[in-house]
Amino acid sequence: MLLSLNPDEKTWAHLKTKELKAHQATTKIQLREIVMKKMRSIQHRPKLIKSFFNDSYVT
Protein backbone atom coordinates (compact mmCIF):
# COMPACT_ATOMS: atom_id res chain seq x y z
CA MET A 1 0.00 0.00 0.00
CA LEU A 2 1.36 3.43 -0.97
CA LEU A 3 1.18 6.23 1.53
CA SER A 4 -0.60 9.18 -0.02
CA LEU A 5 0.46 12.47 1.53
CA ASN A 6 -1.58 15.65 1.33
CA PRO A 7 0.18 18.88 0.22
CA ASP A 8 0.84 19.97 3.82
CA GLU A 9 2.47 16.65 4.64
CA LYS A 10 4.54 16.80 1.45
CA THR A 11 5.71 20.30 2.37
CA TRP A 12 6.82 19.23 5.84
CA ALA A 13 8.43 16.06 4.46
CA HIS A 14 10.38 18.19 1.99
CA LEU A 15 11.45 20.59 4.73
CA LYS A 16 12.62 17.81 7.02
CA THR A 17 14.40 15.67 4.43
CA LYS A 18 15.83 18.32 2.10
CA GLU A 19 15.83 21.85 3.46
CA LEU A 20 16.57 21.16 7.14
CA LYS A 21 18.66 18.03 6.69
CA ALA A 22 21.90 19.59 7.97
CA HIS A 23 20.63 22.55 9.99
CA GLN A 24 22.90 23.94 12.68
CA ALA A 25 20.26 25.26 15.09
CA THR A 26 21.06 24.78 18.75
CA THR A 27 17.96 26.43 20.22
CA LYS A 28 14.25 26.41 19.45
CA ILE A 29 14.46 30.08 18.48
CA GLN A 30 17.22 29.37 15.94
CA LEU A 31 15.29 26.41 14.56
CA ARG A 32 12.16 28.55 14.18
CA GLU A 33 14.15 31.21 12.30
CA ILE A 34 15.65 28.60 9.96
CA VAL A 35 12.25 26.99 9.31
CA MET A 36 10.68 30.36 8.53
CA LYS A 37 13.53 31.25 6.16
CA LYS A 38 13.22 27.90 4.35
CA MET A 39 9.43 28.23 4.14
CA ARG A 40 9.81 31.69 2.59
CA SER A 41 12.29 30.29 0.07
CA ILE A 42 9.76 27.61 -0.92
CA GLN A 43 7.21 30.37 -1.61
CA HIS A 44 9.41 31.54 -4.47
CA ARG A 45 9.62 28.12 -6.10
CA PRO A 46 6.28 27.59 -7.87
CA LYS A 47 7.37 24.38 -9.58
CA LEU A 48 8.15 22.82 -6.20
CA ILE A 49 4.85 24.04 -4.71
CA LYS A 50 2.88 22.59 -7.61
CA SER A 51 4.67 19.27 -7.14
CA PHE A 52 3.25 19.01 -3.61
CA PHE A 53 -0.21 18.78 -5.23
CA ASN A 54 0.82 16.13 -7.76
CA ASP A 55 1.76 12.50 -7.34
CA SER A 56 5.37 13.21 -8.23
CA TYR A 57 7.36 15.77 -6.36
CA VAL A 58 10.30 17.85 -7.52
CA THR A 59 13.44 18.17 -5.44
Q: How many structural domains compose the chain?
A: 1
Residue 21 in domain: no
Specify if 34 maps to a domain: yes
In a domain, 2, yes or no: no
Rounded to two decimals, the pTM is 0.76
* Residue 1 within any structural domain of the chain: no
Q: Is 5 helix (H, G, I), strand (E, B) or coil?
A: coil
Domain span at 57: 9-14+26-59
pLDDT tens per residue, the chain (59 residues)? 445 678 899 999 999 999 999 999 999 999 999 999 999 999 999 999 998 888 665 66
Sequence-separated (6 or more) residues with CB below 8 Å from residue 47: 58
39 located within any domain: yes
Residue 46 domain-assigned (yes or no): yes
The predicted structure's pLDDT at residue 40: 97
